Amino acid sequence: MDANLKAKWIEALRSGEYPQSRLGLRNAEGFCCLGVLCDVMGADWKSDGEVVVCGIRQAGYLDDVLLKTVGFSEETQEHLYNMNDGGMPFSKIADHIEANL
């Protein structure tokens, strides 16, 4: 994963500016940790709940092309998604990302 993008993502997760939610990249309550990544990357959030990142429409998860762009696997995405939806706070997810990606 690109070091600058990783640092921006970790900073955003720890900032307190993103309310945490579950079951999607972003919803009315807030963001999942992967949604924060999309936002840091300049996401264009659509009213239908989808997002366009780097010109690629995403829904729920990051697609294979975007995963390659950010530099992690589908398994890593699944792990982060499960951490988020399992109730782990952004600060702990940021710690995990910092140590493991």
Among residues 16, 53, 48, 17, the alpha carbon closest in space to that of 34 is found at: 53
Q: What is the chain's pLDDT, residue by residue, as a tens digit (101 residues)? A: 999 999 999 999 999 999 999 999 999 999 999 999 999 999 999 877 679 998 988 878 899 999 999 999 999 999 999 999 999 999 999 999 999 99
Cα–Cα distances in angstroms (integers) from residue 42 to residues 9, 33, 51, 92, in the given order: 12, 15, 10, 23
Tokens representing 6 are 């990783």
The one-letter amino acid at 81 = Y
Q: How far is Cα 15 from Cα 4, in angstroms, rounded to an integer?
A: 16
DSSP 31-61: E-HHHHHHHHTT-EE-TTS-EEETTEEEBSB
Q: What is the pTM of this model?
A: 0.95
**pLDDT, position 59:** 77
**pLDDT, position 47:** 76
| Residues 59 and 66 sit within 8 Å (Cβ to Cβ) | no
Tokens representing 34 are 């992967």
**pLDDT, position 46:** 85
Map out the domains of the chain as residue ranges: 3-91
In the block, which residue shows the tokens 């762009």? 69
**pLDDT, position 3:** 96
